Every structure is written in C-alpha cells, then in structure tokens.
C-alpha cells in the first residue's frame, strides 16, 4: 500500500519505492528551484511544478481552496483527522487505482501539515511520460476516431470499477508518449458502487468542459459529432465491460 510517518506537525505518506528518499524539502517548490531541478510548470487555479530528481520526473501540487472560500482561507482546511483529509483520501485512492491496474500517475508522496484545527497539504505524483492533455491536442488539431475511442474506453473502464472523478474535464485526460490514455487529479474522488446516475453526471461534466474550452480557445478543433462519437463509444464499452 503506502508508508506513513510523522515528523513534528507533518505527516508524510510515501510510496514504498520512494520512502527512503523523501524529505520535507521535496514538498517545497523553492527547494527544487534553488537546485535548478524544475523542468516545467502547469498554470491553473494553482501551479503544478514539474521537477526531476535522478531518474524520477514528478509533479508537485499544493492544495488550494477554490471559490469565495478560497479567497478568505486560501490553503487552509479544517482538520477532520488524518484519514479524512483531502490529501490522505486522494493519495490512498490513487494507490488503490494503481492496484486495480488503472492508468493513473503513480503517487510518490504526500504531506499533511496539521496545526490546531487547521491543516495544509501537498501531493507529489510521477509525471506521465510525454503527456499531452486533450485540451493541448484540440488546440493543435482534431482528435482522431481512434483517440476518441481510447478516451471513451478508458473512462468506461474507470466507471466500471466504480471510480468517481469529481472534476472530469479535458485538462485531466492525458495521452502519454505511446498513445495510452491517463486520468489525473483525483482530489475529492472516490470509489462508489457503479451507478448510471453518477456515471452520466461525470460524462455531462466532461461534455461541458469541451464546450467551455471551445468558447475560450481559438482555434479549437472540436464539433458536436465528436462528442456523439465519444459518448456512443463510451456507452458501448461500458455495456461490454458490464
């Protein structure tokens, strides 16, 4: 599963492969910048930092609150006990998804810093090799029918295993350098009993993200028929798995 140890007011979770290497410095982007080991960054509501350490290329992400609450509390969360923190739940979920053989980045380490009623958190995952998001691709060119089918089959497989993604969007669906589809960012995700209601809600959220990015980006190589292809392949794959 994963290792867990306490250092002062920090609890560190780590993949057994990396436990001996992890220090608290690993969760500090400034530490990697000072060593000139930052190899990239992805901007969003929060910056994800890509760093390289020996043979590992990894992504460091701090937990930030969104919406109006985020403007007041930024990165502070009410501490409900370690196993109920968003950090612990995401790290343990990703560990479980790896065990299930699903295409998610390997979780490297996570940190929960607890002070009184408040906690803050960070998570590190392996970077997906040669990753390009669906958004990145659509800005350059249309998706092929084969790519649409691969996306559909991947989501169907996750759904058949009961994997609920809280924010399924085209930034969180990646192709690696060999064309395999990965899904990332499982904050607030969980494993549920498979059910058409939440599965279709997930798909509706994904469709909205295509439309949202279409309004933001020019050019954006997407049309309604592409969604019909993706969705019909998803339903077919889900039926075949079930």
Residue 86 phi, psi (nearest 5): -60, -35
Distance CA(123)–CA(111), nearest Å, equals: 6
Average pLDDT for residues 37-50, to the nearest whole number?
87
Check residue 65 and give its pLDDT. 85
Note the pLDDT tens digit of each residue in 72-113.
Answer: 568 999 999 999 999 999 999 999 999 999 999 999 999 999
pTM of the model: 0.94
125 has a pLDDT exceeding 50: yes
235 has a pLDDT exceeding 80: yes
CA-nearest of 116, 117, 119 to 89 is 119
Token pair recorded at residue 46: 């929060």
Note the pLDDT tens digit of each residue in 178-192.
Answer: 999 999 999 999 999
Among 28, 75, 167, 226, which one carries the catalytic annotation?
Answer: 167
Check residue 43 and give its pLDDT. 78
DSSP state of 144: P
**89 burial via Cβ count (<10 Å: 0-12, 13-18, 19+):** middle
Average pLDDT for residues 11-33, to the nearest whole number?
97
- Where does residue 23 fall: left (phi above 0), alpha (psi -120 to 50 degrees), or beta otherwise? beta
Check residue 146 and give its pLDDT. 98
Distance CA(201)–CA(226), nearest Å, equals: 19
Note the pLDDT tens digit of each residue in 135-183.
Answer: 999 999 999 999 999 999 999 999 999 999 999 999 999 999 999 999 9
Active site residue 25: no
DSSP state of 177: T
Residues above pLDDT 90, as percent of the chain: 92
């Amino acid at each position: 599963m994963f290792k867990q140890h306490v250092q002062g007011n920090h609890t560190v979770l780590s993949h057994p492969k990396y436990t001996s290497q992890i220090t608290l410095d690993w969760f500090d982007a400034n530490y990697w910048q000072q060593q000139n080991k930052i190899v990239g960054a992805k901007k969003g509501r929060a910056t994800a930092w890509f760093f390289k350490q020996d043979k590992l290329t990894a992504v460091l992400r701090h937990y930030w609150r969104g919406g109006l609450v985020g403007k007041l509390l930024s990165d502070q969360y009410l501490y409900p006990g370690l196993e109920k923190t968003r950090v612990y739940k995401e790290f343990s979920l990703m560990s479980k998804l790896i065990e299930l053989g699903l295409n998610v980045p390997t979780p490297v380490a996570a940190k929960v810093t607890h002070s009184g009623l408040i906690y803050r958190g960070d998570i590190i995952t392996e970077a997906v090799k040669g990753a390009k998001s669906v958004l990145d691709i659509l800005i350059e060119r249309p998706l092929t029918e084969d790519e649409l089918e691969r996306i559909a089959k991947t989501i169907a497989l996750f759904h058949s295993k009961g994997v609920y993604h809280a924010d399924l969007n085209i930034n969180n669906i990646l192709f690696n350098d060999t064309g395999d589809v990965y899904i990332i960012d499982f904050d607030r995700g969980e494993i549920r009993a498979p059910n058409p209601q939440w599965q279709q809600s997930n798909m509706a959220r994904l469709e909205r993200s295509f439309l949202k990015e279409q309004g933001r980006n020019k050019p954006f190589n997407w049309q309604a028929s592409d969604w019909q292809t993706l969705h019909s392949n998803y339903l077919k794959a889900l039926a075949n798995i079930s």
